[in-house]
Amino acid sequence: MHIFVVDHEGAEHRLEAVEGWRVMEIIRDWGLGMKAECGGACACGTCHVFVDSDWHAQVPAVTDEEAEQLDGLPVVEPNSRLSCQILMAPHLDGLRVVLAPGSEVG
């Protein structure tokens, strides 16, 4: 399985993904410069991504907890998600996301 991630500079990366891992873990572990400060606890919003429109319907629905975190972010779009809340599964093979402003390290 793979995901495609557009980094903060606009370059697209094809990353090998493991079933059951959070998309945030995959992006972080491949070293793409995502803060992910809370480590996946849905408590900070620093793993914010924009899900490609072709994939938006395939990812799980936003929970109330995730919506609350998204509400506190400076730039939110209809396709905004916290990547810690998306678990990789076979039906998400090929998922495309863009790292959102504010998720960069440093």
Q: Which H or E run includes 16? A: strand 12-16
Q: Residue 81 belongs to what domain range?
A: 2-99
DSSP state of 44: S
Q: Is residue 12 part of a domain?
A: yes
CATH code of the domain in which 61 resides: 3.10.20.30
Tell me phi and psi for residue 105, to 5 degrees.
Answer: -75, 140
Cβ neighbors of 9 (< 8 A, separation 6 or more) are none
Give pLDDT tens digits for 34-73. Answer: 999 998 999 999 999 999 999 999 999 999 999 999 999 9
Q: Is residue 31 part of a domain?
A: yes
Give pLDDT tens digits for 69-90. Answer: 999 999 999 999 999 999 999 9
Q: Is residue 106 part of a domain?
A: no
Q: pTM score, two decimals?
A: 0.94
